Amino acid sequence: MLEWKNIDTILLDMDGTLLDLNFDNHFWLEFVPRRYAQKNGLTIEQAKLQLVPQFKEMEGKIEWYCLDYWSKTLKLDIAGLKAEIAGLIAVLPHVTEFLTAIQQSPKQLILVTNAHRDSLDLKMEETCLSPFFDQIISSHDYGAPKEAQSFWTQLYKHQPFDKQRTLLVDDSLAVLKSAKLYGIKYLISISKPDSQLAKREIIGFPAIEDFRSLMQL
């Protein structure tokens, strides 16, 4: 149980926290390799052998989340490809109920995502979640991913908050570790960010499978 009376600001991640990570996993691990293979006369297996190491190399960097970077690198319209399968974008269970409860409280609610603005706008259009938030922040606004301390420094500069009275919910352990280093007190992970994969065992942070566990505001 969270000490809700001691929390003024709630920071929520998007992909894997509010939205089913299955969309992104399918997009990067299946759909992009398929289109890359078609464009370059490769089998899907050959395409994956080329792409997966490139993806791994950029993990945790701002480029990994940048659609412009991947469009240029792979010579594919990444934003356009995302739009093609936008119907697969889905909100995770009990997210809307939680957001509604927060919206009816005096707490500040901010979306903090590493998603590129093109991807963010597409997902907000598909899910209609944007009205719930007081602010929507993309790490691309600051030129640094949430894994970097400079992200939190700039977030605080533009959207001041009390670290000791702030909650962050995020499926990325690297992001949670960065937030902990910055001094954010309340940190929660998501154990089932992809509805099609098994529940993860989370070490180092309290974890929830879905937002029902946090509904006692």
| pLDDT digits 0-9 by tens, 156-208 | 999 999 999 999 999 999 999 999 999 999 999 999 999 999 999 999 999 99
Residue 7: its pLDDT value, please? 97
* pLDDT-above-70 percentage for the chain: 99
Residue 11 — φ and ψ, nearest 5°?
-105, 125
Which letter does DSSP use for residue 82 in this model?
A: H
> What CATH number does domain 4-20+90-214 carry, 3.40.50.2300, 3.30.590.10, 3.40.50.1000, 3.30.1330.10?
3.40.50.1000
Q: Which long-range contacts (CB under 8 A, 24 or more apart) does 26-29 make?
A: 26/85, 26/88, 27/81, 27/82, 27/85, 28/55
The bridge status of strand 186-190 relative to strand 166-170 is parallel
pLDDT digits (tens, 9 = 90+) for 101-124: 999 999 999 999 999 999 999 999
Residue 215: its pLDDT value, please? 80
Report how far residue 58's alpha carbon sits from residue 65's, in angstroms, rounded to the nearest whole number.
Answer: 9
Confidence of residue 100 (pLDDT cuts 50, 70, 90): very high
Q: Is the dihedral of CA 22, 25, 29, 35 positive or negative?
A: positive
The half-sphere exposure of 11 on its side-chain side, counting CA atoms within 13 A, is 30
Q: How high is the mean pLDDT of the chain?
A: 96
pLDDT digits (tens, 9 = 90+) for 129-164: 999 999 999 999 999 999 999 999 999 999 999 999
Domain residue spans of the chain:
4-20+90-214, 23-87
* pLDDT-above-90 percentage for the chain: 96
Report how far residue 127's alpha carbon sits from residue 130's, in angstroms, rounded to the nearest whole number.
Answer: 8
Confidence of residue 2 (pLDDT cuts 50, 70, 90): confident
Confidence of residue 216 (pLDDT cuts 50, 70, 90): low
pLDDT over threshold 90, residue 1: no
pLDDT over threshold 80, residue 217: no
Residue 180: its pLDDT value, please? 98
pTM of the model: 0.95
